[in-house]
Amino acid sequence: MKKLIAVSVMLILIAGLLAACGNEAAPTPPAAGKTAEAASNAQHVEAVSSSGSKQPTQEQQPTVEKPTVDDQIEQATSAENEKVEEGIELIKAKVTKAVDGDTVYVKLESGKEEKVRFIGVDTPESTTKVEPYGKEATAYTKSKLLGKDVWLELDVQERDKYGRLLAYVWLSPPTKESDEEIRTKMFNAVLLLEGYAQVMTVPPNVKYAEYFREYQQEAREKNAGLWGLEAKEEKPASSQAVSVSYIGNKNSKKFHLPDCQWAKKISPANRVYFKSRNEAIKAGYMPCKVCRP
């Protein structure tokens, strides 16, 4: 009986020892709040480990301001002003027909058709009558402008007495008002430089008059175009040697003696010959105040 009691006591002691060991090894479960915080920290550590750097929070992100509509309009306007000098207003059009050297028909972007007369220049006639170099001037204008886009610049007076639109014709928009831009991009100037036209200044449209006079002088010195034509004076027989006594100017409507300094400056395209003083006056010409014919 004593042995049985001793064995039972031993078993109870062993069981107690085993229970104590089990409780010591089991981990104490964390509180719910601490578990969530630990998980968040673990995710943060994982993000740092994978990227190698700390990711900025929403508050740390740099603020980028988007341009407003007004800003965009201002930028577009500034870009446009870089292409066309401020103060030069242009009307885009397409040339549909060449009437002669200094007159064309155009169609505006609105669809309206206009007859345009070039400001400051005059080419020889080739319509109701044909003057020397008139056909050449018409053919040149047609070859350069027909079917092409042009940019029209108006001056003080927009139309002449015939209702035609008066314009400087730009082959491409100018970036500034300069000699180089005018002589290479403005068709009015090109006609003068190539000798297809003469200067015809009609106030108040005189914006480029000084340039035009310079270009005409260059053409005359080079004998370009109509300036290279020889005066086709009649060579009458000896019995009619005095049949040509006076030379008139179609532009000024004045007539001169053949040896007058002003008669010598009349271009071949503008010369008119008269046999008598009375004939010149009847034709509507006034006598020169210098040579007094």
Which residues carry out catalysis?
117, 125, 164
The b/e string for 257-268 (b: 16+ C-beta within 10 A; e otherwise) is beebebbeebbb
Which phi and psi angles does 133 have, rounded to 5°?
75, 10
Dihedral of the CA atoms 200, 94, 106, 121 (nearest 10)?
10
Number of CB atoms found within 10 A of residue 81's CB: 10
Cβ atoms < 10 Å from Cβ of 222: 13
